[in-house]
Amino acid sequence: MSKITRREFALLAAGAGAVASHLEFARPAYAAGSARVVIIGGGPGGAAVANRLKSADAALDVTLIEPKDKYTTCFYSNLYLGGFRSFRSITHDYEGVKKRGITVVTDTATAVDTTAKTVTLARGSSPLSFDRLVVAPGIDLKFETIEGYSPDAAKIMPHAWQGGEQTWLLKEKLLALPDGGLIVMASPPNPYRCPPGPYERACMIGHFIKTRKPKAKLIIFDAKRTFSKEAVFEQAFNEYYRDIIELNLTNEIDDYTVVKVNAATGEVTTKSGRTERAALANIIPAQKAGSIAAKMGLTEGDWCPVNPDNFTSTKVKDVYVLGDAAIANPMPKSAYSAMSQANVVAADIIADLSGKPRPPGKYRNTCWSMLAPDNSAKIGGDYFPGKKDGKEILEAKDEFISKPDDSPDIRRQTYQESADWYRTAVADLFGEEPQKAGH
Ligand SMILES: Cc1cc2nc3c(=O)[nH]c(=O)nc-3n(C[C@H](O)[C@H](O)[C@H](O)COP(=O)(O)OP(=O)(O)OC[C@H]3O[C@@H](n4cnc5c(N)ncnc54)[C@H](O)[C@@H]3O)c2cc1C
């Protein structure tokens, strides 16, 4: 059995793992420099594909299109809200990506001509041509599902479900909250980015309240009956945040889905008619694939159907879609999933360009959530293509989930694992030197 290299280990730890195809990239057979891959979106999905392609074949022409020159990760953003991370530590530029020989174009893709194989940019003068196209635009928010909510209202009632300015804004509003102020969170309906995310956020806001504004309260109005890692979160709410967090899950009699907000007065209203006047509202609406996906005809409903073997679109030929925008249920929409899908996509592109066999991919996910200092929980498993109950990706039988009665040692180790994962993942994605966990 061949020895695994340090780099391969790092990739495995970062979610590149459980993907034999990553370690078995076909040797390129096409002429050096003759193929160009364009990738739309510089998040974990797009950046990981770019990196994998370039490390598989340095001669491949790889272009990454991303409007932001700095990427603030949503993963670990809740820890920033809780006071465990700085904003700087979760914000990364693309200099390391460029150093790998990837062309990074700071612009927005506005249209794609799949016949001429070109991408039009918002500011770029001439369209970019491609041989293979990867679309990883993440999510957009369905503001219209909540009356009174809009991009302008989100400046007052931030969602902070896309990283960057919104993350910053929510923290600023937390810092400015009067002690005794009421925070109201609207948790979104399925499917959405990061299933445990709202509840990790509740814990981190709970910790912030406990340590900074002890008279404040958090009410969660949830558009669901049940949620990821529920037993562990409920135990944490009871143990650490008993008089701080009020969780209202929806049911048929009393529906807690938020249907209306008033940014001017701070009012948040549920379907059953309950209205709370919030000093700070964190409104996380329903979600859909990043808008370029619908514009390109990649969507069915709100999301993009894909071939589970390799994440090629089932709607538009020769285009790959991965990350949050893709329908990969039961894989959750997570950075870990996106990076795992990226391995398969990159291996498939190289094999395709080389005229080699394209074996179906295998995938993995782990989602960690911080509950309290030195206390994290996790859920995860392996996935493979297959058909059952209308699904085309199946979960292997080795899935794992933290338990409410885990020992403090296990929780501490789980926290450490998550910190190691973050450090390795951003080093892999953005080419930064791995930093010590922290700030
Ligand atoms: C609070 C919170 C906590 C989370 N915690 C975790 C966690 O602990 N672990 C985990 O694995 N995941 C976590 N996630 C989920 C994770 O952030 C997402 O699943 C991940 O970012 C998805 O990656 P992506 O590449 O598909 O999309 P994104 O990260 O959204 O990246 C897409 C990129 O595409 C760009 N883009 C969009 N349209 C265009 C266009 N037309 N042209 C060019 N570029 C475009 C966008 O600017 C964006 O940078 C969390 C999410 C939230 C909100």
Q: In this model, does residue 217 exceed pLDDT 80?
A: yes
439 part of a folded domain: no
Please check whether residues 100 and 181 belong to one and the same domain. no
Please check whether residues 367 and 424 belong to one and the same domain. yes
Please check whether residues 298 and 278 belong to one and the same domain. no
State the distance from the centre of ligand 1 to the C-alpha of 161, rounded, in angstroms. Answer: 9
pLDDT of residue 3: 38
Q: In this model, does residue 228 exceed pLDDT 60?
A: yes
Please check whether residues 198 and 76 belong to one and the same domain. no
The tally of domains found in the chain comes to: 2
Q: Which atom of ligand 1 is nearest to the CA of 332?
A: 19
Please check whether residues 184 and 103 belong to one and the same domain. no
Buried/exposed 327-362: b ≥16 CB within 10 Å, e otherwise:
bbeebbbbbbbbbbbbbbbbbbbbbbbbeeebbebb
Q: Which atom of ligand 1 is nearest to the CA of 337?
A: 11
221 part of a folded domain: yes
Please check whether residues 146 and 214 belong to one and the same domain. yes
Output the residue whose Cα is nearest ligand 1's atom 20.
335
Task: Judge whether 312 and 336 are in contact, CB under 8 Å.
Answer: no
Q: In this model, does residue 6 exceed pLDDT 60?
A: no
pLDDT of residue 34: 74
Q: Tell me the average pLDDT across 283-293.
A: 98
**What is the span of the domain harbouring residue 324?**
6-138+290-430
Please check whether residues 294 and 420 belong to one and the same domain. yes
Q: Tell me the average pLDDT across 320-348.
A: 97
Please check whether residues 170 and 102 belong to one and the same domain. no
Instruction: Return d(Cα 49, Cα 47) in angstroms, integer.
Output: 5
pLDDT digits (tens, 9 = 90+) for 102-145: 999 999 999 999 999 999 999 988 999 999 999 999 999 999 99
Output the residue whose Cα is nearest ligand 1's atom 21.
335
Task: Judge whether 204 and 167 are in contact, CB under 8 Å.
Answer: no
pTM strictly above 0.85: yes
Please check whether residues 305 and 385 belong to one and the same domain. yes
Q: Tell me the average pLDDT across 327-352.
A: 97
pLDDT of residue 243: 94
Indicate the top mutation candidate among 75, 105, 284, 292 to test ligand 1's pocket, ranked by most ligand atoms within 8 A of CB. Answer: 75
- Last residue within a domain, chosen from 244, 265, 286: 286
Q: Which atom of ligand 1 is nearest to the CA of 108?
A: 42
State the distance from the centre of ligand 1 to the C-alpha of 335, rounded, in angstroms. Answer: 7
* Residue 351, H or E segment: helix 335-354
Q: In this model, does residue 423 exceed pLDDT 70?
A: yes
pLDDT digits (tens, 9 = 90+) for 60-95: 999 999 999 999 999 999 999 999 999 999 999 999
Confidence of residue 33 (pLDDT cuts 50, 70, 90): low
Q: Characterise 180 by phi-psi region: left (phi > 0), alpha (psi -120 to 50), beta (else).
A: left
Q: Tell me the average pLDDT across 340-346.
A: 98
Instruction: Return d(Cα 233, Cα 247) in angstroms, integer.
Output: 11
- Last residue within a domain, chosen from 267, 286, 305: 286
436 part of a folded domain: no
Please check whether residues 165 and 242 belong to one and the same domain. yes
**Could you tell me the maximum CA-CA distance found in the chain, to the nearest angstrom?**
67
Q: In this model, does residue 10 exceed pLDDT 90?
A: no
- Last residue within a domain, chosen from 254, 286, 318: 286
State the distance from the centre of ligand 1 to the C-alpha of 82, rounded, in angstroms. Answer: 20
Q: Which atom of ligand 1 is nearest to the CA of 366?
A: 11
Q: Tell me the average pLDDT across 313-333.
A: 96
Q: List all residues whose CB is within 6 A of at least one atom of ligand 1.
A: 40-46, 65-68, 71, 74-75, 77-78, 108-109, 136-138, 161, 193-194, 197, 201, 290, 292, 323-324, 333-336, 338, 367-368
State the distance from the centre of ligand 1 to the C-alpha of 326, rounded, in angstroms. Answer: 12
Residue 36 belongs to a domain with what CATH number? Answer: 3.50.50.60
